[in-house]
């Protein structure tokens, strides 16, 4: 993490594009915010869009805007995020999920600094620093023909690779203390602590959801416990059942994010409602419902 921070010191003061790569929950949006709000554009707008969350048509209108009458429901002209972020920074999250057609349109804007709103004819100049983020390896996708090479080079002037939490477990006690302090400040309650048994349990866990999952579990446990010092027993019920068995092969099993989500839902569907599970997983309730229907859980 110190290496990451040293790189950010160099990246922040530049005007070039930055690609942030790391698993879900490692803090990519946090890094993007740090780059913007510590850099020369900090007094200008910061905007963000998740490229995996909406369709190509909606993404185009979100990024580039549209004119009145461009499509059904377009009752007035609307600026896109590139115009809104003019002079500032735009974060394109999960850019690996951007469609080939949308990649072409994005490349054209990055190369020319100009765009046209959907349904419009006028050319609009924009000055935006683009930060992109992905939980997939864009270089590998480019080599396989799954992502445009010219766009990759345009986005990849600087690359920041965020390590998963399982590769930086010595940071877990520091992160736990930080999140306990945050909860204390937000709730107005005296800060709680964790004992050695809790630290050992949390350090043994694989953390497929990374720092985001750790924060959600800390908040959940603190909310439910009246104890001033939290022990392992306070955390056991919050971790997925496959890890509560404490079996080494299950504890460190390498699984996909989708499989982790499925197991988490199966393990917690009788204890948590959809809203609570969606919040912990960092997804929308609609996405959660779609997954439950797909997996028949």
**What are the two backbone dihedrals, phi and then psi, of residue 118, each rounded to the nearest 5 degrees?**
-60, 125
Confidence of residue 248 (pLDDT cuts 50, 70, 90): very low
Sign of CA dihedral 240, 214, 133, 116: positive
Count Cβ neighbours within 10 Å for each residue of 213-234 and write b for 16 or more, e otherwise. bbbbbbbbbbeeeeeeebebeb
Q: Which of 255, 258, 252, 257 is nearest to 205 (CA)?
A: 252
Using one digit for the tens of pLDDT, what is the confidence trace for 79-120? 999 999 999 999 999 999 999 999 999 999 999 999 999 999
Rounded to an integer, what distance in angstroms lies between the CA atom of residue 296 and that of residue 279? 20
Rounded to an integer, what distance in angstroms lies between the CA atom of residue 154 and that of residue 106? 10
pTM of the entire predicted model: 0.76
Hey, what domains does the chain have and what are their CATH numbers? 2-163 (3.40.50.300), 166-295 (1.10.8.60)
Instruction: Report which secondary-structure segment, H or E, holds 244.
Output: helix 241-244
Alpha helices in 55-137 (DSSP H): 56-64, 81-84, 100-112
Instruction: Report which secondary-structure segment, H or E, holds 17.
Output: none
Give the DSSP letter string of 115-145: E--BT----EE---EEEEEESS-HHHHHHTT
Using one digit for the tens of pLDDT, what is the confidence trace for 117-144? 999 989 999 999 999 999 999 999 999 9
Q: Which of 105, 61, 108 is nearest to 84 (CA)?
A: 61
Confidence of residue 253 (pLDDT cuts 50, 70, 90): low
Rounded to an integer, what distance in angstroms lies between the CA atom of residue 23 and that of residue 241? 22
């Amino acid at each position: 993490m110190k290496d990451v921070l040293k790189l950010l010191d160099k990246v922040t003061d530049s005007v070039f594009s930055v690609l942030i790569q790391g698993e879900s929950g490692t803090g990519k949006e946090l890094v993007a915010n740090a780059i913007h709000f510590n850099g020369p554009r900090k007094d200008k707008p910061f905007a963000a869009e998740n490229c995996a969350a909406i369709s190509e048509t909606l993404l185009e209108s979100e990024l580039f805007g549209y004119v009145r009458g461009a499509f059904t429901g377009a009752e007035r002209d609307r600026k896109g995020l590139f115009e809104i972020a003019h002079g500032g920074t735009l974060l394109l999250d999960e850019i690996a999920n951007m469609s080939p057609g949308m990649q072409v349109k994005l490349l054209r804007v990055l190369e020319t600094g100009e765009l046209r709103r959907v349904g419009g004819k006028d050319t609009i100049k924009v000055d935006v620093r683009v930060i992109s983020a992905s939980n997939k390896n864009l270089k590998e996708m480019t080599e396989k023909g799954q992502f445009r090479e010219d766009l990759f080079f345009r986005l990849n002037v600087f690359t920041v690779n965020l390590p998963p939490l399982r590769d930086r477990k010595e940071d877990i006690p520091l992160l736990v203390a930080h999140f306990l302090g945050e909860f204390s400040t937000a709730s107005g309650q005296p800060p709680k602590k964790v004992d050695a048994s809790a630290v050992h349990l949390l350090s043994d866990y694989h953390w497929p959801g990374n720092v985001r999952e750790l924060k959600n579990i800390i908040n959940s446990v603190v909310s439910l416990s009246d104890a001033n010092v939290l022990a392992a027993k306070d955390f056991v019920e919050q971790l997925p059942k496959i890890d509560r068995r404490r079996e080494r092969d299950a504890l460190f099993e390498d699984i996909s994010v989708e499989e982790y989500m499925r197991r988490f839902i199966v393990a917690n569907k009788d204890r948590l409602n959809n809203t609570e599970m969606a919040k912990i997983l960092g997804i929308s309730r609609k996405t959660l419902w779609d997954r439950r229907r797909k997996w028949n859980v």
